[in-house]
Amino acid sequence: MKLSNKNYAMPTTRVGRAELPRLIMGIHPYDGCSYVDAARDALNYRRYNRVSKVVPILRYAAQYAGVTAVQVDHMLPVLNRLHLQAVWEAEQESDLSIDRIAYILIPILLDSANVEYAPRAHTTSIARNEGVAGQAFWDHFLRDPILKYNLGGSYERLNRPEAVPPYTPAEAERFTIDYGMLEQYLGFFAGCEIPVADPGAEIDLLAMTGRFDLIREYIAFLRARYDTVITSVHHAGVTIPLLEREGIEVDGYLTPVNALGAAMTPTRDIALDALRQTRKPIIAIKPMAGGRYLGPKAFEYVYNEVGVAATMFGMGTLAQVRETTRWARTVLGL
C-alpha cells in the first residue's frame, strides 16, 4: 500500500477535486526540450534516454522534497513512454503515489486537415496579441528568448499576419475536433490514474477565433472521464479574459509566470493583469524562465508577488533538482 502524499512536508492546494502539492514536477527536459537551443536539446536526449537515468531524480523529488505530482504528455511517444515508466518505477521505489497531470493536445480540424500547429494558427495568435497590446507586443516578442527558441532560434522562421493570413471567422466556423484522434491520445495513458486532465494550449486558438462552443464540448468530454480539468494557456493576457467572459468552466489555468516575463504574452504586465483578475487557481510554468532566472527569487516572485496556487518546474539532473526544490521549499517556509 502506497503512502499518502500528505505524510510529506509539502503544502498542498486545492484545484478542482484534486489536492496538489504547491510544487509540481514538469516534463522538461526529459522530453528533450531545453528552451536554449537544438544542441542542448540533443544533449538532453542523450542524458535522459533511459528510464534508469530518470528514476532516481523523480524518486528524490517525491521522497525527499515532497513533490508528489508530475506533468505527463503524449506528444513525443518514445520519450513520453519512457517518462511514464520512470514515474511508475519511482513510485515503486519510494512507496509513494505520484499524481499525474496529463497534457492532452486538442486535435483541431479544418476541412479534414489538422490546424493546431499550422502557420496560420500561429499568425492568428500573433494578430490577436498585437490587437490587444499593439507595438508593445512586438517589443516583447522580439526580445523573448523562449519565443525565439520556439521558432528554432531564428526570427527568419517567423510568419507575420500580413504574409500568412490568420484564420477568418468563416474558416473558424468550420473547425471541428477530431475525437477519433483524441481517443488515441487518451489511450496513451491507459492504465494510469489521471487525477487532473489538462487540455492543450490549442484552447488559445479556439478562444481567439470565438469557438467557445467547441471548448465547452471538449471540456464536457474530458469531465466525463476525469475528476479535475484545468487548461493550458500560452497567451494568458488574451485568452484568459476571453474564457472568463464566456464563463468557461475549468478548474484552473496552467500558464507561464516568471519575473522576466518570458513566454508571457502579449506582455508580462497584461498577462499578470489577467491572472490577477481571475479567481481560478493558477499553476505557473516556466518560473525560472527556461533557466534564465534562478535562485529563491524565482519562487518568491511566483508564490509571493503573483500569488499562484502552485508552480511546475523544469527538472534536470539530480543536483539541479536538489537545488531547485531547496529554493522553492525555502520560499514556502519549509
CATH number of residue 155's parent domain: 3.20.20.100
The answer to whether 35 touches 149, Cβ cutoff 8 Å, is yes
The answer to whether 105 touches 114, Cβ cutoff 8 Å, is no
Mean pLDDT, residues 206-231 taken together: 97
Mean pLDDT, residues 156-182 taken together: 94
Give residue 8's pLDDT band: very low, low, confident or very high (50, 70, 90): low
pLDDT of residue 97: 93
The answer to whether 106 touches 200, Cβ cutoff 8 Å, is yes
pLDDT of residue 120: 96
Q: How far apart are the first and last CA of the chain?
A: 27
Report the length, in residues, of the chain. 334
Q: Enumerate residues 6+ apart whose C-beta is below 8 A from 144.
A: 261, 262, 263
pLDDT of residue 6: 45
154 compared with 142, residue with greater pLDDT: 142
Q: What is the pLDDT of residues 104-126, one digit of tens each?
A: 999 999 999 999 989 999 999 99
Give dist(CA 228, CA 222) in Å, integer: 9
Q: What is the SS3 assignment for 311?
A: strand
User: Has residue 17 got a pLDDT over 90?
Assistant: yes
72: how many CB neighbours lie within 10 A of its CB?
Answer: 21
List the domain range (segments joined by +) for residue 55. Answer: 5-331
Q: What is the pLDDT of residues 78-99, one digit of tens each?
A: 889 999 999 999 999 999 999 9
Burial of 333 (0-12, 13-18, 19+ CB in 10 A): exposed
Give dist(CA 232, CA 235) in Å, integer: 9
Mapping DSSP onto H, E and C, the string for 108-145 reads: EEECCEECCCCHHHHHHHHHHHHHHHCHHHHHHHCCCH
Task: Record the cell numbers describing residue 63, joined without a space.
Answer: 521522497
117: how many CB neighbours lie within 10 A of its CB?
Answer: 11
pLDDT of residue 301: 98
70 has which bridge partners? 25, 100
Mean pLDDT, residues 208-215 taken together: 97
pLDDT of residue 4: 43
CA distances from 293 to 234, 258, 265, 289, 299 (A): 19, 8, 18, 6, 10
Burial of 56 (0-12, 13-18, 19+ CB in 10 A): middle
**Over the chain, what is the mean pLDDT?**
93
Q: Work out the percent of the chain whose per-residue pLDDT is above 70.
A: 98
Give residue 291's pLDDT band: very low, low, confident or very high (50, 70, 90): confident
The answer to whether 68 touches 98, Cβ cutoff 8 Å, is yes
* Total domain count, the chain: 1
